[in-house]
Chains A and B, each alone.
Chain A
Amino acid sequence: NAGVTQTPKFQVLKTGQSMTLQCAQDMNHEYMSWYRQDPGMGLRLIHYSVGAGITDQGEVPNGYNVSRSTTEDFPLRLLSAAPSQTSVYFCASSGLAGPRNIQYFGAGTRLSVL
């Protein structure tokens, strides 16, 4: 059981470049989300989705786009990378109710924007 898989693990971009961070889960979870982790700030929610075709903004959505065409995949797109987007990005998934409402995290993508 792979759980939540994120690719790539590391990425270096130049300012203005675009890229997509991939996230896939094999637990049939309805809820998926993207966080960024910065020192001393914990995890901040970027975007989330409660099911295929449904996405919404979190706390820090600017500069990022998401889509959810399938239950399994939830890619995060950086439209025009900026140095302020240097961070570690985590994808998480969970069920929507009861005992399934525990978020499982991927191993993260370390992104540097020069």
Chain B
Amino acid sequence: AQSVAQPEDQVNVAEGNPLTVKCTYSVSGNPYLFWYVQYPNRGLQFLLKYITGDNLVKGSYGFEAEFNKSQTSFHLKKPSALVSDSALYFCAVRDLSGSARQLTFGSGTQLTVLP
């Protein structure tokens, strides 16, 4: 079975500071990893994904994520946070070696960027 953990329900950061939203995963085979963002009263929007290759993945709005196989982590990062980055962030995983195509989502992390 595949699973995702987002250990922090809430992350607060000051505008202009770097931000990190943590994610760890568990799959039997190789992971296909995603980050999504959800703004209030909206659906989820795709930010970035990792399937193979460079461990540092760049995505939309200046976000990036670092894949660490030994720590089974896929933390989301941004060098300088903006107030407009405040939203709910979800990490998701799919096992590439399995036949199932379903994504498993973490419980979400509410990011608040303080002006």
Contacts and interface: CB of A to CB of B under 8 A. Distances in A.
B44 interface: yes
Interface residues of B, number: 21
A-side interface mostly: strand
Given A105-B45, A107-B42, A33 B102 contact: yes
A105 B102 contact: no
Contact of A40 (B4, B32, B107): B107
A103 B90 contact: no
A106 B41 CA distance: 11
Interface in B33-64: 34, 36, 41-46, 49
Interface residues of A, number: 24
Interface of B: 4, 9, 32, 34, 36, 41-46, 49, 90, 101-108
Nearest 3 pairs of A and B residues by beta carbon: A105-B43, A42-B105, A42-B107
22 contacts: A31-B101, A33-B102, A40-B9, A41-B107, A42-B105, A42-B106, A42-B107, A42-B108, A43-B44, A58-B102, A90-B43, A92-B44, A102-B34, A102-B49, A103-B34, A103-B44, A104-B46, A105-B36, A105-B44, A105-B45, A106-B43, A107-B41
